[in-house]
Structure 1
Amino acid sequence: MHQSGVVLRLGKLMLASGAGSYRVKSSMAKAAAAVGLDRHEATVTMTEIVTSSYVGDRFRTEAAEVRRVGVNVARLEALRRLVHDLRAHETVEHLDERLDEIVAMRPLYGDVANAVASGVACAGFCFLNQGGWVECLAVLLAATVGQAVRRQMLERHFQHFFTWIVCGVVASGLYMGVASLIDLVGLASGNHQGGIISSILFLIPGFPLVTAMLDLARQDFSSAVSRASYVLLVMAAAGVSVWTVTFIFDWEVEATYSYVPEGLLLYALRALCSFVAAYGFAILFNATPRAAGLAAIVGAIANTGRLVLIDEMGVPWQLAVGLAAVTIGLLSQAFVSRASLSRVALSVPAVVIMIPGVPFYRAVSALNDQTVDAHVAIGAAATNLTEVFFVITAIGVGLAMARILTDRNWRHDVPTSVPLVVPAR
């Protein structure tokens, strides 16, 4: 009972920190072998774990629910290191003590640093979405306040669907106020309404989206479907909230703007903004400064290369995104070998800046647009949703191919319940 209980506790902590189904299962299987269990099988979704532990002819089945799911890269890395260091004949008491130490870890960044990281990341994202200085400044302020509200609500255990709606309204409303104030005082002129979408990009659930795609690639459908459903739920909540605000105040999210710089300067700024955006998202995920810096380097290289392929070489954007995702996966593996960091801590912040949040929110707006012909609105929504689908598919295929090329356990279809040989002390 105690052996299976400590293994299940490890799985619950990993699941609550954002780990994918395969990582949770394989970690529990290794821990089970270390504490003396003969075999361990598990079914994992986004919020539930069902395990069966075997010793000879006896077995024990347990179920647990994990309601407080989120992303905590620092804790996930500590759990990964714990599992990596496990040796045979590990005592339950010692493993429990190690888990107590990890649970006691405090967040690496306070409320202010976390909120500012969100604002900086979304401002960098805004520039990559062709935003000017007015849009980037308004996004910086709006996303900072929006993330501060989200963190406070999540710490108070508010429901995620409700939290995303409130934060979408707060961030988009504040963006409208800042942009309108800048126009009113005459600091800038022109249409800055399209940048409102970038102000809520911190609400994109990057970790669940990436882990859902990786779980799907490993044919772990129960976990993949539950994570994908969560992604759709919270993105729809944010999209509807932004549409409501823009409809009330008659804002046009399709407004466009253009870059001022060109040539090498443009790509240098894109590389810088990709670095800043990836670094900011890594901070949001509570990654260590070292991991955040490496993830930002990976994101800057891959995303700038993607834009060069699309703009200068005419490569189809789906293929460019797929190649960028493969590059992110391979670079993450290279840094993992050197820095002993988990791949997910490096790849997800770099991938998040390529997730097409803007087309998704524009699709929601088009479906609710009553000022144009219904066929036109449906066509615009279908176009944007098609772009979202192909980009996300390309990201998933690219990351899966990188894992297959660099990880033997991904090249072969081996169940995680196979008894493991744990190194002796």
Structure 2
Amino acid sequence: MNEQEGRASRHEPVPTTTSPIGMPDSLTVRSEAAAAVGAELLASGMASYRVRWAMSRTAHALGLDSFTSLVSYTDITATATLNGRYRTRLTQPRHVGVDVDHLHRTQRFVETLPERGVTADEVFAALAAIRARGPLHGRVVNALAAGFACAAFAVLNQAGPVEAGAAGLAATVGQAVRRTVQLRSWNHLLITVIAAVVAACVYLVAIGVPSAAGWVGGDLMGGYLASVLFLVPGFPLITGLLDLVRADYAAGLQRLTYAALIIIGAASSVWTVSLAVGVEPVAAEPLGLALPVELGVRAAATFVGVLGFALIFNSPWRIALAAATVSLLANSARFALTETGIPIQVATLVATVLVGLLAYAIARSRHVPRTAISVPAVVIMVPGYAMYTAFALVNAGQPAEAAILTLEALQTIIGAAFGLALAHLATSPAWRRVEQPR
């Protein structure tokens, strides 16, 4: 038996780069284990407060006296104390993205830890098992999820069946390309540009061929922008706003900056393609459906769209279905409110409060992260279509119209963030207090 096999048989902790002698349960190893929990959650898309809470809870279970941390979008700086000694370390996840399955399992592991008595070896072993899990949904399901989500978005933006079908096909191909390139660990902005160009080109071909053949008539560009809405960075956008509400400015501003860059990259790509081809994206004409029928169509489109986004985020089916059901109820209420003359910003705030309360109830009863339900449920309310349209208007020489559309979009996003924040403040004592996890 060699030295490595002997160590494994005795279940001793593997030496780390910061603790080459591998002392079991030393301050170094314990702090590393607590930071590893935070790194896994951060890499999976968790908001900074929950990352700090999870690390603090793990640190106390490991027997540390305190664990104070500063969490940004890409790294964690933390100081652990034990018997008058302290150690400060910087931890960076290998990548930052969204993985609801890993997020859910890591948070559940932390929630089930005893108050004391856990070893660093047990923490590392649990995290290794979580990281070893591959994607829950294969490439085909992942691509189709994006396609159905964007087709649903097109319907919500008054696009007809032909436009919605073309948007779904374009998004399916675009997401397939995006996921393939993601496996190469390329820059996220570059990946976004590539996926947006591919989706835009596929949409134009899918619409252009039947139009040129005379099979369909009229202006069919209403679904053009919907074909790239799978690129809307919903998780960093919503969690970044929630970070700001919690006064986690480092993480919040970085998440919002990342989200803004992704949106600008996608919008620039779509506009460049339309400029090169010589087409202009236009708003779809209202379908003219009776209100009860339109309510039903919008409810179905909301369910399909949120389910698709949740699957893109690698959500287990039960979490994805829960998010879709919550959004169906909330977004239907939002649409009904706007039909009575209530501004979209106010209706969005009311709807996201409802999302937050329902997500809280489901999270407590099903032991799942609230974020895993609330963020996909709210993504369908993010005015990505309006933001992309505003960018196109700026480049078309219509700054006044673009400014109005941008302001409305920002107000809607702020309304969504405040709605979720109010739900958190109403249901979570920790959110009502200024103290941070230690």
Partners of 2:291 and 2:408 lie apart in 1 by: 26
**How far is the alpha carbon of 1:67 from its aligned partner?**
4.6
Q: 1:75 aligns with which of 83, 98, 102?
A: 102
Matched, 1:13 2:35: no
> What are the residue-to-residue correspondences of 1:246-285 with 2, within 5 Å?
246-285=274-313
**How far is the alpha carbon of 1:380 from its aligned partner?**
1.4
Give the aligned length.
410
**How far is the alpha carbon of 1:188 from its aligned partner?**
1.9
Task: Tell me the residue number matched to 2:366.
Answer: 339
**How far is the alpha carbon of 1:56 from its aligned partner?**
2.6
Task: Tell me the residue number matched to 1:207.
Answer: 235
Task: Tell me the residue number matched to 2:50.
Answer: 23
Identity, % of aligned pairs?
Answer: 38
Q: Deviations over 1:318-337 (max 9, x none)?
A: 10000011010011111112
RMSD (CA atoms): 1.0
Where 2:128 maps in the other structure, the secondary structure is helix
Partners of 2:359 and 2:430 lie apart in 1 by: 17
Partners of 2:214 and 2:395 lie apart in 1 by: 33
Letter in 2 for 1:4: S
Letter in 2 for 1:401: L
Matched, 1:291 2:319: yes
Q: TM-score, normalised by structure 1?
A: 0.95
State which drifts further: 162-171 or 407-416: 407-416
Letter in 2 for 1:218: R
Where 1:68 maps in the other structure, the secondary structure is coil
Q: Deviations over 1:328-387 (max 9, x none)?
A: 001111111222211111111110000001111112112212xx5xxxx11012111101
Where does structure 1 differ by over 3 angstroms across 4 or more consecutive aligned residues?
A: none
Task: Tell me the residue number matched to 2:124.
Answer: 96
Q: Deviations over 1:244-298 (max 9, x none)?
A: 0111112222343221532211111110110000101000011111111110000
Alignment gaps of 5+ in structure 2: 1-27
Task: Tell me the residue number matched to 1:65.
Answer: 92
Task: Tell me the residue number matched to 1:422.
Answer: none
**How far is the alpha carbon of 1:187 from its aligned partner?**
2.9
Task: Tell me the residue number matched to 2:133.
Answer: 105
Q: 2:273 aligns with which of 245, 270, 279?
A: 245
Matched, 1:406 2:411: no
Alignment gaps of 5+ in structure 1: 418-425
> What are the residue-to-residue correspondences of 1:24-39 with 2, within 5 Å?
24-39=51-66
Say if 1:192 and 1:255, in contact at 8 Å, map to a contact too. Answer: no
Which structure ranks higher in relative contact order (CA pairs < 8 Å, sequence separation ≥ 6)?
A: 1
Say if 1:321 and 1:395, in contact at 8 Å, map to a contact too. Answer: yes
Task: Tell me the residue number matched to 2:73.
Answer: 46
Say if 2:352 and 2:378, in contact at 8 Å, map to a contact too. Answer: yes
Give the greater-gyration-radius structure (CA): 2
Letter in 2 for 1:249: V
Partners of 2:368 and 2:158 lie apart in 1 by: 33
> What are the residue-to-residue correspondences of 1:368-407 with 2, within 5 Å?
368-369=395-396, 372=397, 377-407=398-428
Partners of 1:159 and 1:337 lie apart in 2 by: 37
Say if 2:157 and 2:284, in contact at 8 Å, map to a contact too. Answer: no
Partners of 1:415 and 1:176 lie apart in 2 by: 51
Say if 1:47 and 1:67, in contact at 8 Å, map to a contact too. Answer: no
